[in-house]
Each structure stands twice: as structure tokens, then as C-alpha cells.
A and B are shown apart, each in its own frame.
Chain A
Amino acid sequence: MIAAIARRLVWTIVVVWFVVTATFLAVAAIPADPARTLLGPHATEETLARVRTHYCLDRGIAAQYGCWISQVSRGDLGESYRSKRAVTAIIADRIWPTAQLALAAIALQLLIGVPLGIVAALRRGRWQDHGVHLLALLGQSVPAFVAGTLLLYLLAYLWGWFPLGGYGTGGWDRLAHLALPALTLAAVGVAYYARVMRSELIEVLRADYVRTARAKGLPERAVIGRHALRNALGPLVTLVGLDLGVLLGGAVVVEVIFAWPGLGREIWQAIFEVDIPLILGVVLVSAIAIAVANLLADLAGLWIDPRLRAQ
């Protein structure tokens, strides 16, 4: 068990290193000069040269990479070209808004998706099942930029129930600002969770132990609640883990539409500005979030399902 965890940890580090190195190479391959982007079209040759030297941009790719890796190993992610702020400080500022959005979205996915899946499974083939199917189709096929813009237009602008984007000042105001982006972000997940829940539950309801439970005269509620549901929830734990990792990396489209100050919006701007240290920093954090969430999901799976442990 411990050896398995250690192996996974080593792999996690390798994966994170690989992702960050690949990003570094991809960013280096962009034929855009960060100094030129930073200083704009008015920049003179002399100013450009000064800025390139200041940020080691006049050195080769290998030297820049070596410089960055040695910085990272000291826990320093460098400073943003654009704002001259430490990348770690920027990420520290942005991770909490992203985490709030991610947690709210996952909570909505579970609170809406799971009951819908259960209803669809129990009323299989009836109108409730078809209704859930339709909702799932809608949720999965409408892109976030359409759903987000539509929600913003209808619920915020036209009817004034919610604020028109932004982060709010805390408390209820924060919740009001959080509602629409979280709902937009959760739309795909709700659909997906409902479908997974439905198919898992249908599978489990066919299992021998469910038949046994029914045969020994347990009421239907107990059969479903105590026996079927518990077993059907396994795959959802893995899903939640994976989703949490992905969402903690920032939801670019949703954060931009709703002016939510998270990591997604930060990296979106950083890419436009070829702000290499910031891009690499956010990718590093996202990669770590996904890798760690995967690891935790695996561990949770082991903990929940004794059969996996035996393997």
C-alpha cells in the first residue's frame, strides 16, 4: 500500500515536471517577444534591449529554462513581466476566488446531478427519465460562453436578480456574485453526474445483493438508500476528485465572462501579454492541483472499496 502511494507520488512529480516543461517549450516557441509586448509599439530598440537583459530574455532557451527551474526549486516563481509582482503573490491572491468557484460548482453538481440521476434511474423509461436526459443533453452541449452570457443577460441584466458579474464584497454579497458563475460552470458537470449516477444505479439495481435485500423483505427505501446508492457512488468520488483538480486550475471562460478574479482569468491575460513567468506559475499550480486531486481520488477509492485494496 505504502509502496503504491510512493510510486504514485513519484509519478505525480514526473507528470508535473513534464507538463511545466512542455508549457515552457510551447511558450518559448511562440514567435512573440515579451519585451515588445510589454513595451508596446512605441518601444525603441534601446529600451527593448534593456528590458530583454533585465529579464534574461537575451539568453538562449536552455539558459532561460535552467534559470527558471533553479528559481522554482528555491520556491521562487519569478516576477510577472507586466506587473513586476512576485508570481507566488499573484497566485496566492487568485487561488481563493478560484477555489470558491470550484467548490461551489462541485457542490451544485452533486446537489443537482446526483438526485437527477437517481430519479432517472428509478423512473427509467418514463417521462422523468426523458426529462433528465434532455436536461443532461442541454447541459453538456451548450458551451459555457453561451450559457454564461445568457444567464448574465436574463437573470442579471433583464430581471436584476443577480449582480452583473464581479467578485462582491463578502458574505451574502459574495454568494450572490458566486451564484451565476458557479451555475454556468456546474452545468456540464450536473449533466455528466446525472448520467453517471443513472447508469451506475441501474447497474447496481440489477446486482444480486439488491435482489437479496429485496427478497428478505427490506423496504424499497432501505434497499436503495443503504445498499444500491452506496455502491453506485464509488465512481462519483473519482469524478469529484478529477473535477476538483481541473476546476482548481481555473475556469478561463467563466471567470472572464463573469469578471471573477481567479486563476483562469489571470492565465488568460498572461497568455495575451506573453507574461512567461506568470503563465508557467499558473500552469505549475494547475498541474499540481490536478495531479494531487487525482492522487487523492485514487486513495479515496482505495479507502472506500476494499476490493481495490486487495488488488
Chain B
Amino acid sequence: VISKTYTDWTFVSLSPLPIAWILCAAAFVTIATAWLIWSYWGAQNKRWLLLFRVLTALLVLGFITEPALQIRAVQKVPDRLAIIVDRSQSMQLSSSRGQTRIENVRNVINKSTAELAELSQTHILEWYDLEGPITAATLSTPPIGERTDLLQALEKVRHNTGGRPLAGIVLITDGADNIALRAETLTPDSEALQRLQALDVPVNTLDAASALGFHDIAILEVVTDEFAFVHNTIGIDVTLYNEGFRDLSVPVTLKRNGGIVATQEVQLEENKQRHVIFQTKPDEIGEAVYTISVPTFSGEAILSNNESSVVVQVIRDKIRVLQVCGKPSFDERFLRQFLKENPNVDLISFFILRTPTDEPGPERELSLIPFPVDELFTTQLTSFDVVIFQNFDFRPYKMAHYLPNIRNAVKKGLGFVMLGGVHSFASGGYAGTAIDDILPVRLHAPQIQHGPLIPTLTEAGANHPITDLSATSARNQLLWKQLPPLDWANKVTALSEGATALVNAGDTILVAAKDIEEGRSLSIATDGLWRWRFSPELGGTNPERAYYRFWTNALRWLVRDPEHARVRVTPLRRHFANSARVDVDFTVLSQDYQPVANAALSATLEQIGTTTLNVEDLITDEKGQAHLHYPELDKGAYKVTAKASLGDTEIGHGSGTFIVAPHSIEYDHAAPRVSLLKAIAKATHGYTGDLSDNAWDKLELKNPNVVEINKRQNIELWDNFWALCVAVVLFGADWAYRRRRGYL
């Protein structure tokens, strides 16, 4: 019956009955036949009876099951073979011979046309990269994948059924996995190994890179503190790696803001890391860009990792304060306590404990020392950041010719504070002196204003950083009103040119501030601030906290803390990994810290250590703000300097620093990893070898076990004339035998 058309046959049941019914009927027939056989067990000539009954039972079973012979035309189905080509960025790296990894892949594939055609006879070839299916055209485009996750790519391919079984996977890669298998060694209990084994398909790994060689000197990491204290040593820890080069000596250079600070000659062993530590002292306050670089060597695969920059915010180690007090008082005592307890302050105090007219007794029985006027106000003056004159009359100490030194130091950046008292301001004889030139208030005849005096914020004081004692403006206003009143104050009623009144009390300008070239000056016309420090809480207000905050603010303002700058340049980030989007914000504030609208800003962008790249003119909006976007900056450290002016008046300048460092993890771990490829193949029972090594006929693949039935025919065995004849013959033979033996 089976002709050339049909290549296979099998038995099938054509019964329309459900399988359960068929089974039940077959069981009934079998049991009934067995009962009959048992009943015939004592009869004579039972042999023939039994034979007839068994044959009849088989005949009945045949009618129930309706067996048929099915003949088929069968064809085996070709399965799939997935070929994954790593198209991550590391495949773009070139060897010393100049050929990139992806070019190596393309060349081998082009030369393997015959082998691939042969494979396609038995397998459906499917092409993928690490992200998904690709076409031949895709393969010819540059590799742009930003990561290499081999395990995920294998799992994606495995779960892409495509309607056909998967015979195997061919993975063509450099093995430079930087995600799941980055540091994975595929130990027996590792999750990665279990995931590989769960693929249940051979993964044939073809190494596309190691034959090309890989040479690279890389600065893997630069670690330092984000903040550093000026004039204090900081450590910059550099991690270098030599991949592929024989042991060599490399000069490692440290630059600060483009200028070379130090160079170390470092011996780098092949395929080993090396730590180098630079010790350096920043000598300027502000943002410092430290750049570590090594030279590029011939044949290096990656040049971008030969230089790395970090930004360090250099801050004051301590604010050095000179407190000169004319006589002991509680105001002096609590200010001293605040300054001494402040870890950011290095305090030198000089208190006048005895005047020339006092009679304390023999000198040797006193603990007093001479007031070192000359030393303090000549050689040592520049070592201070802030000088405080507290209720101090300079005249008994022959200081008149030192006062210009203080004025000049303030112009160069010193902060100066005059605190009230009966020996301060005009009462201290400062009218017409060099100190008068720098004070925020004008000195007239000595006068005292008696209290109680309630401090009141001026409009400028409501926004000024010195008088900002609370989180919100409204609470700040309320807090000032609730502070303990002052007993008295030096009466000063007029501001000097360019000064700003921050707090008034009665008719007197209690707190006033003034910028003097590079320095700043602050006047506080009372010696009663200690009452805030020593006051109990008043209706939910904590004057002690206000005291601390006031003085903290004052010190920061006096030393020009960057947060108190009036022209602020704020890059959106310190590091930009995406060079396509560098945003910088600008804020311009007036002397009373109000936003300056329509201020002219000249923003200069320079690449540190090179040249000015760009100058933009901006105008601030009503919030005193402006914004700038720099597109497509090259890798490097940049500084934006902004000068602000309103009309003909210069407001000030500020700067901000940022680093553009397009970063790809593809280049962090770009070395070929043959060991990983071997481990993957071993875990999945695949083949591993070099791509160029004619590997196509060595692939380990699953045997195809699925067939396709194109044609079939059923030949019924029971439902025909011959079956009926057999039944009639059986029935007749049984009847005849029974009659002859007398059983009927």
C-alpha cells in the first residue's frame, strides 16, 4: 500500500468514541470474555469454544476501536541557527595593525559565504546583534552599542522562538562584557552559570578580537575629596592599568587649572594595575581642576582614557579672626566663646585688661603682656581674614599710623568689623582716620541712643545673607521682631557711600555693610548682641540660635563665601557625561541681594589650560537670572567667567567650572576576554575558537527532531468486507461446533 508518495506509516484509531468510552468498552469485553472462559473451564472440548470466544472478543474490540493504517508523506523541518554579532562600541577599537574588531568580523563573514550557504541548507540562519535582529545592511554600519550584555543577548535570542527549534547559537564577540558577566568567572554556584545552562542550547563562541591584539594604557580611576582646604595637603589617588604593553615606564602628570603641578615616573607592569598618589596643596580658594594625564603610545586602542580630570572645591581651612577688644564685657565674652567654639575659626584675641591709668599693682604679679601692635598690624595683618574692633579706642596705643594698613588690607580682601561700645565709632576717635574710609557709616559727634531698642530689618536687610536668620523671609521678619531689645546703641545715622543699611534700631543704623574693592566692612553699632546669646526662649523664638546664625552669616559674608557671591555662575552639573547638553545658569544680585533685572552679562567660556572658546552677551530677566547652553563641547575642563554690569556700574564677576567627559563603559573594560568565551561555550556545550579559524564546520548544534507531514491516508482495517466475513465464519463455526457437540 505504501508507495513512493508516502514515506511513513502508523496505526491510528478511527473510532468517533471518546477514548474513555473506548477503554470502558474494551474492559467490559475483556471481563466478559474472561467470565465466559471461566464458565467453560469444566466443559469437555473447551479448547475450540475458548478459541471461538477469544476470536469473537477480538473482533468486537476491533469494531469498537476501528483500527486503521495511516500512511504519510513526511519531510524533516530545518531548524534555526542564531548568529549574534557583537556591535557594541568596543568592537570599533582598532589593533596595532589598524584593523578594527568589527572589520575583522565583516571580513571573516564575507570570506565564509560558502560555509554559511552550506549551513543554510540545514538551518535557517538568523542574524542578531546584542540588542535584537539585524540585517546584512545593519552589519555594515558602525557599531554603536553602549553596553555589552552577552547573557541578556543570549537569553533574548533563546526566547525568540520564531516557530522553529533552535539548533544553536553562534556568538561573535570580543567578550568585553560590561554588565552581567563583567567580573563573572562562572563558578559552579553562580547565577550566571545557571542562566547559561537554562538556555538549553549550545552557544558557540567565536573570538573576534584577541587575535588582533589589544594595547592600552588607561587611567582607570582618579579619587580625591570633593572639598579641600586651602594650603592643606590633599591626596589624589590615581589607578593606572597597562593592558598588553610590556613593562614600561610612564610619566604621569598632574595639572591644576592647566598648569603642571607635578610629574611622577611610574613603572607599569603588563596587564597589571598600579596606584599612584599625588600630594599637593591648593593655594587658592575656589574651584580647582586637577587633570591627570599619561602620554599616548603607538598602537593604543583607546586614547580617551589617557587623561582624566576632577574638580575640587577649595575652601578655607579656617577663617582667621583677630578680635581686638578695648575692655572686657559680656559682648566680648560671648563673641569670643562663639569664635572659639567654631571649628572653622582660628581666633587670635587681644583684650585690653588694664588702661594706662589703672593701678593694678606690680607688673610681675600680673598676667598681662604688652599689646603687640606693630607685629599685628604690619607683618601679621595679611594672615587674618577678618579683623574685629570691639569697643576699642586705638589712640592710647599709638596706632594711628597702623590704621591705613588696615584700610589697605580691606581693599585687598580683608573683612573688617566694628562693634559698638563707648570706645567705638566716633567715641573711639575714628572720625577722619583710615578706618573712617572703610566703615559703612559716617562718623559724627559721639552720641548714644538709649533703649530699649527693637532691631528692625530694612528692605535690603530682608534679603541680605547676613541678616537671614530663618528659613523663610516671613519667618525671618518675625524673628527679628521677637529678638530681645537692646539697652543702647552708638548713634550713627548716615551711611557712607556705597554702604547698605541692614538693620535699624530707633534712629540709629544698627547693622550696615559695605563692599570695599576686594574686601568688606561691617558695622554693628551696639555691644548688646550678647543678650540674644544669653536669652531664654521667647515665645517660640530662640534668640541664641539667631545669635549664632547672625555671626556665622556675618563671617561668611566678610570672607566672601562663594554662596554669598553676587554674580553666581552655576553649571547644571559638575561633570557632563553627555557633551551635547551643557547648561549653565547665571544669577546677578545687587549689593542688597535683590535680583538685578536687565543686567548685562558677559560670559566667557574657556577650556582650562587652552584658550577662550566663546564669549556670549546675556541680559538677566526680572529674576536676575540668565541661562546659557553650550552645544557639543569636546572632552575637557571648562571655566565660565561672567562679568555683570548695570548701565555703567559694574556689579561684579563670578565663575563656575565643569568637566565634559563623555563616558562609555565600553571603554572601561574593552580588553578581549577569551576566558569568558571559553567558559560560556563550556557551560552550554558549545564550541569555542577564534573567528578566523574556519570555525563554521566545528559548531556544536542540536540534531533536528521535528518533521513535517505533507500528505496522509487512512486505510481502515475493520470496517470492510473481510472483517464481516471473518465475523460470519466465526459465528457459523461456533454454531456448527455447538450443535455437533450437543450444546444447543
Instruction: Tell me whether A and B are bound partners.
Output: no
Interface residues of B (CB under 8 A from A): none
